[in-house]
Amino acid sequence: MSELRNSEAPISTITYDRNELDAPTNNIYEAISIVSKRANQINGDIKKELIEKLEEFATYTDSLEEVFENKEQIEVSKFYERLPKPHAIAIEEWLNDKIYYRNTEKE
């Protein structure tokens, strides 16, 4: 997960060159499919890690009316909100040839 924290992916929306995105596959739909599958994997990893971190600070009470503001939980949540979005990380990995893929139909 540390490589996702050090990602150079943009935090805001940017425009990509379509030809650059589909260059490895020569098919924009196949490229988007590969990137979207990787983005789903990244999202799952981030979600799992966030839940694990928040569980460390969880306080359980018998009363549903009691709500505690836990500063550690808020800071952890804010950190994860500032990370680049999973699709931006996946596109960055794709453009830097960090995603392994294969087309089983061509084999």
Tell which wins on pLDDT, 67 or 22.
22
pLDDT of residue 90: 96
pLDDT, mean over the chain: 86
Hey, where are the domains in the chain?
2-8+15-95
What is the C-alpha to C-alpha distance for residues 23 and 26, in angstroms, rounded to an integer? 5
pLDDT of residue 83: 92
What is the C-alpha to C-alpha distance for residues 95 and 30, in angstroms, rounded to an integer? 14
User: pTM of this prediction?
Assistant: 0.81
What is the C-alpha to C-alpha distance for residues 78 and 18, in angstroms, rounded to an integer? 33
Tokens of 32: 């988007």
The pLDDT tens digits of the residues spanning 44-82 come to 999 999 999 888 877 666 555 555 667 888 888 899 999
Percent of the chain at pLDDT above 90? 51
Tokens of 71: 């500063």
